[in-house]
């Protein structure tokens, strides 16, 4: 049974985006633990949530531009959509840079990089889905290694020491380089075009995602490190490429499972999964609002660690408060108001406010 409405598909995507936000919270404020098992569990949040976020961003761009029936090339509609996305992108860049310069949270901020990635996606929005998928996978296989090599060059180091260092961070040197994010977004865009309401598409997405993770993560783990073998510097970019592809595979598998649970499973399972996940889905339907508020909260929570004398925001209480508070806020806001406050503001700014003001309809933010 295939999904028949866009809203049904969006539930699974929003839930995946909500899980990505929770993973970011863990990565940002979870304290260091000495127990190896606990440390390994927390390490899951180091890379995968942001790549899942990028994957769902690509899916959102696919939904915004028509899904399996992309906006017709004839007429001005494509140009209007590109202008609306460009306005959102610039607003995100301004918001991200402003937060960094004023609040100084002790985390890497994704908003400005997100905006730059949107701008780079504009000419790629209407690639044929199989072309987008092939280009995305091909670039993803090599760009993490290129980014890793580039960060170690003297040129990038010199640029990062200038007032233009943020540009180097956007493209290669930061925690979220767009040369990696754009390929992941292309994969998400292709999945939306290939129909995430189709059991075949969802099944193949889960299968290939799980297989890539199961194959590449163990392979990356056995590569020698420069610490154990000084001549093994070649392994660093290779490990980065293998781990990134595998972690995108994890994200694809998670997305497929959530799409199946909330849209393709039997009626009873679908209703139960949708109800249980509704607070997380609500978070994912207003990612800009939730993410921005969490930056404000953790900036206000900065304190001096008495043991090290260094500033920190790590706290189990803060982590639990962020997760529970975000779910409660998003669930109540979505139920009684509708679209997230910052999402609504961006729609007005970009000229999309004439559409429904209810829950998410596939907008990226």
Q: For the segment 273-332, what is each residue's pLDDT rounded down to a tens digit? A: 999 999 999 999 999 999 999 999 999 999 998 888 899 999 999 999 999 999 999 999
CA distances from 249 to 44, 156, 327 (A): 13, 29, 26
pLDDT digits (tens, 9 = 90+) for 27-68: 999 998 877 878 777 888 778 999 999 999 999 999 999 999
Indicate the pLDDT class of residue 356, thresholds 50, 70 and 90.
very low
Q: Is the confidence at residue 358, as pLDDT, over 50?
A: no
Model pLDDT, residue 337: 94
142: its two tokens: 């090599």
Model pLDDT, residue 245: 97
Q: Is the confidence at residue 228, as pLDDT, over 80?
A: no
Q: Is the confidence at residue 360, as pLDDT, over 60?
A: no
Model pLDDT, residue 315: 93
335/329 Cα distance (integer angstroms):
10
Model pLDDT, residue 9: 65
Model pLDDT, residue 33: 83
Indicate the pLDDT class of residue 364, thresholds 50, 70 and 90.
low
Closest among 298, 299, 305 to 319, alpha carbons compared: 298
pLDDT digits (tens, 9 = 90+) for 110-166: 999 999 999 999 999 999 999 999 999 999 999 999 999 998 888 888 888 888 888
Model pLDDT, residue 353: 64
CA dihedral 59, 295, 347, 248 (to 10 degrees): -10
8/196 Cα distance (integer angstroms):
10
**Percent of the chain predicted with pLDDT > 70:** 94
Three-state secondary structure readout of 125-172 = CCCCHHHHHHHHHHHHHHHHHHHHHHHCCHHHHHHHCCCCHHHHHHHH
Q: Is the confidence at residue 345, as pLDDT, over 90?
A: yes
Q: What pTM does this model have?
A: 0.92
Q: Is the confidence at residue 359, as pLDDT, over 50?
A: no
Model pLDDT, residue 363: 58
Cβ atoms of 79 and 105 within 8 Å: the answer is no
Q: Is the confidence at residue 246, as pLDDT, over 90?
A: yes
Q: What sign for the dihedral angle of Cα 11, 13, 15, 17? A: negative
Model pLDDT, residue 3: 47
Model pLDDT, residue 357: 39
53/284 Cα distance (integer angstroms):
10
Calculate the average pLDDT of the chain: 90
């Amino acid at each position: 049974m295939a999904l028949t409405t866009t809203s049904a598909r969006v539930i699974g995507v929003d839930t995946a985006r909500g899980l990505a936000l929770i993973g970011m919270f863990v990565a940002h404020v979870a304290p260091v633990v000495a127990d190896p098992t606990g440390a390994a569990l927390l390490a899951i949040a180091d890379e995968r949530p942001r790549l899942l976020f990028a994957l769902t961003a690509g899916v959102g761009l696919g939904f915004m531009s028509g899904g399996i029936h992309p906006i017709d090339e004839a007429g001005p509609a494509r140009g209007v959509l590109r202008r609306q996305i460009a306005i959102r992108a610039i607003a995100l860049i301004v918001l991200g840079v402003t937060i960094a310069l004023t609040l100084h949270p002790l985390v890497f901020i994704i908003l400005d990089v997100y905006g730059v990635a949107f701008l780079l996606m504009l000419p790629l929005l209407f690639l044929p889905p199989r072309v987008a998928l092939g280009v995305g996978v091909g670039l993803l296989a090599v760009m993490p290694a290129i980014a890793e090599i580039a960060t170690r060059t003297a040129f990038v180091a010199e640029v990062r020491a200038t007032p233009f260092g943020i540009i180097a961070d956007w493209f290669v040197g930061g925690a979220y380089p767009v040369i990696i994010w754009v390929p992941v977004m292309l994969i998400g865009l292709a999945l939306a075009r290939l129909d995430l309401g189709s059991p075949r598409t969802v099944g193949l997405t889960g299968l290939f995602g799980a297989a890539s993770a199961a194959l590449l993560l163990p392979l990356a783990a056995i590569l020698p490190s420069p610490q154990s073998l000084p001549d093994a510097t070649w392994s660093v970019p290779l490990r980065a490429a293998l781990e990134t592809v595998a972690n995108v595979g994890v994200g694809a598998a998670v997305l497929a499972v959530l799409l199946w649970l909330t849209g393709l499973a039997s009626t009873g399972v679908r209703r139960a999964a949708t109800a249980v996940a509704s607070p997380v889905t609500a978070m994912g339907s207003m990612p800009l609002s939730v993410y921005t508020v969490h930056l404000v909260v953790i900036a206000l929570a900065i304190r001096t660690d008495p043991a090290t004398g260094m500033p920190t925001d790590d706290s189990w209480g803060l982590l639990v408060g962020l997760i529970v508070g975000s779910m409660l806020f998003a669930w109540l806001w979505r139920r009684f108001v509708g679209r997230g406050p910052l999402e609504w503001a961006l729609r007005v700014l970009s000229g999309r406010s004439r559409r429904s003001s209810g829950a998410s309809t596939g907008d990226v933010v």
